[in-house]
Structure 1
Amino acid sequence: MVLSGLLVTRVLDHTSPLSAEDGIDRLLAAHRTGWADDLSSELSTIGNTVGAATAALVAILLARWICGRWREPLYFAFAAVLEVAVFLVTTLVVHRPRPGVPELDHSPPTSSFPSGHTAAALALYGAAALLIFRRTRRRLPWLLLLVPAAIGVARLYRGMHHPSDVVAGALLGALCVAAAWHSVLRRPVLSEVPEP
C-alpha cells in the first residue's frame, strides 16, 4: 500500500488518468445540495473511526453468538486491526494533501491516501458478505458491498479524497478481508487437524 501511494503521488501524479482525477472532485463540489450534504454526512459517520469500530464490535459479537465459536469473531477482528495498521503506516509515509475543493468535514491529521473510511467499511462489510456467502451460498450478502461503495462516493462528494484514494482504500479493505479469511478461517485449528 505504501508503494502504491508513492507511485500515485510521486511517479504517476502528472499522467493520465491521475492528472485529471481532481476534475471529479470539482464536479461534485460544484453540484452540492442540502439533501446530498446530509446523506453524505451520515454515510461518512458510518465509515469514521467510531462508526467502524462500533460496527466491528457488533459484527464480532454477532459472529460469536451465531457461530458459537471464536474463529469467526477473530476473522472480523483480524480484518479490522490489519486495515487500521496498514492505513496508519501508509498515511505516515505517503503524505498526500486533500483535493483542492472546499471540504465539508474537518480534515483528520492523516493524509488523503488511502481513504480510511472506504478501507474500514470494505474490511468490515466485505468480511461479512464473504462469510455469509460462504455459509449460505446465497448471492444476496454481496449487496453489503454497496455500503463501502456509497461511503467512498460520499468521501469524494465531501471533498475529502481524490478518486484514487477511494480506489486504494477499497483495495486495502479487500486485501485485509482476503488476509483474514486465509489466516483465520482457511487454516485448520489443532482440533481439526487429522492425526497421522
Structure 2
Amino acid sequence: MSLAEIPTVLRQAALRLVLPTAVLYGVMVGLGLLVTRVLNDVWPLTAEDAVNRRFEAERDGTLNAVSLVFSTIASTSAVVAVTALVAIVLALSGCRWREPMFLIGAVSTQALIFLLTTMAIDRTRPAVEHMDTSPPTSSFPSGHTSAAVALYCGLALVLAARARRTPVKVAWWSLLVAVPVGVALTRMYRGMHHPSDVIGSFINAGTCLVIMARGVLDRTVRWGRGHLPGRRPAGRRQPSTSAA
C-alpha cells in the first residue's frame, strides 16, 4: 500500500467499519438502559425471573454436563483459540485475506462492544443458583452467547459461501447455528443470564457480522494497492501520443 492510498483506506474504514460500530454501541447501551431502567417492570421483562427459575428446576446430571460443554466452547479462551485456528486453516486452504479477517474482525468487534456495554450497564445476575463463577461484568449482554454467534455463524457464512451444492450450504448453517443457540440456552440454564441478555447478544454479534461482511467480505469494496478510483491497472501503459 502506497502513502497516497492511506487517506482513502482510512476513510473507507471509518465509513464502513468504525462508524457503524459506534452506532451499534449506542444501540446496545440504549437497549441496556431500556431493560434495566425503563421497561424492567413491564412484561415480558417481569416474566424473566420465572424463566430462570424454570431452568433451575429442570437441572439434572445429564443436562448439567451438556450445558458445561456448551458453556466451555464459548468461553473466552476457547473462542480465541478456535478463531485463530480457523483463520489459519482458511488462509492455508486457499482463501484470500478477506475470509480470515472477516472472522477475526467479527469476533473482535463483538467483544469490544460487549465489554464497553457492560461498563455502561449495571445489571445483576438472575436470582437463582449460579453454576459458574460470575466474571466482574454486568449480566447484559451475554459475552458467551455473543462470542458464539460471531464465531460460529460467521464460520457458517464463510463455509456456506464456498460450498457449491445447496444441501451442503444448509448443512453448514444448520450445524453451526445450533452452537450459539445451545450456548444461549446453556447460559440461562446455568443461571448466568436473563433471556433479554442473550437476545441482546444476538443483536450485538449479528450486527457485527453484517458490518464485517459489508466491509470485508464484499468484494466490490476495494482495499489497498491497485484499487483506488482512477488508478491504472498495473502492467498497462498509456498509448504514445508522439508522432510516428
TM-score by length of 1: 0.95
- The partner residue of 1:69 within 87, 91, 96 is 96
Cα deviation for residue 65 of structure 1 reads 1.2
Deviations 1:96-143 (A, max 9, x none): 100000000000001100011000000001111111222225222211
- For 1:30, the aligned partner's letter is A
Tell me the C-alpha RMSD between the 2 structures.
1.5
Q: Distance in 2 between matches of 1:176 and 1:65?
A: 25
> Partner of 2:13 in structure 1?
none
Q: What percentage of aligned pairs have identical amino acids?
A: 39
Q: Distance in 1 between matches of 2:86 and 2:112?
A: 19
Q: Which runs of 5+ in 2 are unaligned?
A: 1-27, 231-244
> Partner of 2:199 in structure 1?
167
> Partner of 2:129 in structure 1?
102
- The partner residue of 2:151 within 118, 124, 127 is 124
Residue 178 of structure 2 is aligned to residue 146 of structure 1: yes
Q: Distance in 2 between matches of 1:56 and 1:93?
A: 27
Q: Distance in 2 between matches of 1:112 and 1:24?
A: 16
Cα deviation for residue 191 of structure 1 reads 5.4
Cα deviation for residue 194 of structure 1 reads 8.3
Deviations 1:50-80 (A, max 9, x none): 1111111122112111234222111111101
Secondary structure of the residue that 1:160 maps to in structure 2? coil
Stretch of structure 1 that moved more, 142-151 or 60-69: 60-69
- The partner residue of 1:12 within 39, 48, 56 is 39
Residue 29 of structure 2 is aligned to residue 2 of structure 1: yes
> Partner of 2:87 in structure 1?
60
Residue 96 of structure 2 is aligned to residue 84 of structure 1: no
Q: Distance in 2 between matches of 1:167 and 1:68?
A: 32
Of Structure 1 and Structure 2, the greater helix share is in: 1
- The partner residue of 2:214 within 173, 182, 186 is 182
Secondary structure of the residue that 2:130 maps to in structure 1? coil
- Higher Cα radius of gyration: 2
Cα deviation for residue 192 of structure 1 reads 6.9
Q: Distance in 1 between matches of 2:229 and 2:119?
A: 47
Q: Distance in 2 between matches of 1:80 and 1:112?
A: 19
- For 2:184, the aligned partner's letter is G
Secondary structure of the residue that 1:106 maps to in structure 2? coil
- For 2:63, the aligned partner's letter is A
CA contact (8 A) 2:52 2:128 kept: yes
Deviations 1:153-181 (A, max 9, x none): 00000000000001111111111111111
Aligned length: 196
CA 1:66–1:10: 2 relative to 1, 3 Å? same
CA contact (8 A) 2:52 2:191 kept: yes
Secondary structure of the residue that 1:161 maps to in structure 2? coil
CA 1:26–1:69: 2 relative to 1, 3 Å? same
Q: Distance in 2 between matches of 1:127 and 1:147?
A: 12
